[in-house]
Amino acid sequence: MDLLGEIPDEEAMLVVTSPPYNLGKEYEKVLKIDRYLAQQKKVIEECVRILNPRGSICWEVGNYVNKGEIIPLDILLYSIFQDLNLHLRNRIVWHFEHGLHCSKRLSGRYEVILWFTKSDDYKFNLDPIRIPQKYPGKKYFKGPKAGQYSCNPNGKNPGDLWIIPNVKHNHIEKTIHPCQYPAGLIERLILSMTDEDDLVFDPFMGAGTTAVAAILNNRRSVGAEIMRDYYDTAVDRILKASTGELKTRPMDKEVYCPPKKSKLATNPFMEC
């Protein structure tokens, strides 16, 4: 909050973060849910103050778990943003295929990014985040454009379901942080919602992934982190990103799928 107070009004074009989920991780204390939401509200209010009129806020969250019952944080947080007159543009579902295995419910394999804007006149650049067309050779069947290609040659809109691997132990970006999101996830937000030299702010910086994604795409970045170990990790990664030494997973890299005949893809329990 101290750092937020030093940032001028309407300075940031994008605020993107993943706050604590109130699960009792080493960087947080478990609070009663009303206190947790009140704490979040204070931070969100300041983020709205520093947000440019054409800017966006992206809040990446999962579930709060209480005695085995899951409570989706995006549902609880929505009214805070709504009361601050922000406009929800998308509820982006980030799907990943690895995580904890549950025995009494289905294993969670997604989290949500709430994308809000401050006004109806907001920055959004689709072209930098287009993905390959599924049917690039498709043509119009009839009408005045019959026979012409119907797809955008630059690719298609990626939609609001993003399949991007999460950062587990063997991920190239893995650090000491236990809940680290991948740079590619944030790069999509930065490329589509900001221009070069715009300011990107992260109030819960963690291992510095937001700053890394900003630097890799020629944006300015400011972030806050209270845990010294994470802060040191973030500084190291930011410096390496600035010099081109930091390795990250490319934003457009496809999810690995082992060849069907490989040992990894062969079920050893099935009879031949």
The pTM (predicted TM-score) of the whole model is 0.91
Q: Where are the beta strands (DSSP E) in 102-159?
A: 110-117
Beta bridge partners of 59: 17, 114
CA contacts within 13 A on the Cβ side of 42: 9
Mean pLDDT of 143-169: 92
- Residue 133 exposed, middle or buried by CB count within 10 Å (0-12, 13-18, 19+): middle
CATH architecture for residues 2-126+160-265: 3-Layer(aba) Sandwich (3.40)
Q: What is the pLDDT of residues 13-70, one digit of tens each?
A: 999 999 999 888 888 888 899 999 999 999 999 999 999 999 999 999 999 988 889 9
Residue 272 reports pLDDT greater than 50: no
Residues belonging to the chain: 272
Tens digit of pLDDT for each residue in 191-234?
A: 999 999 999 999 999 999 999 999 999 999 999 999 999 999 99
First to last CA, the chain: 62
Asked if residues 214 and 190 have their Cβ atoms less than 8 Å apart, the reply is yes
Task: Determine the 3-state secondary structure of 184 from DSSP.
Answer: helix
The dihedral sign for the CA sequence 19, 178, 227, 200 = negative
Q: What are phi and psi of 233, to 5 degrees?
A: -65, -45
Spell 6-26 as b/e; 16+ CB within 10 A means b: ebeeebbbbbbbbbbbbeeee
Maximum Cα–Cα distance across the chain: 67
* Coil vs helix vs strand at 90: strand
| Domain residue limits, the chain | 2-126+160-265
* Adjacency order of strands within the sheet including 161-163: 161-163, 87-95, 110-117, 51-61, 12-17, 199-202, 220-223
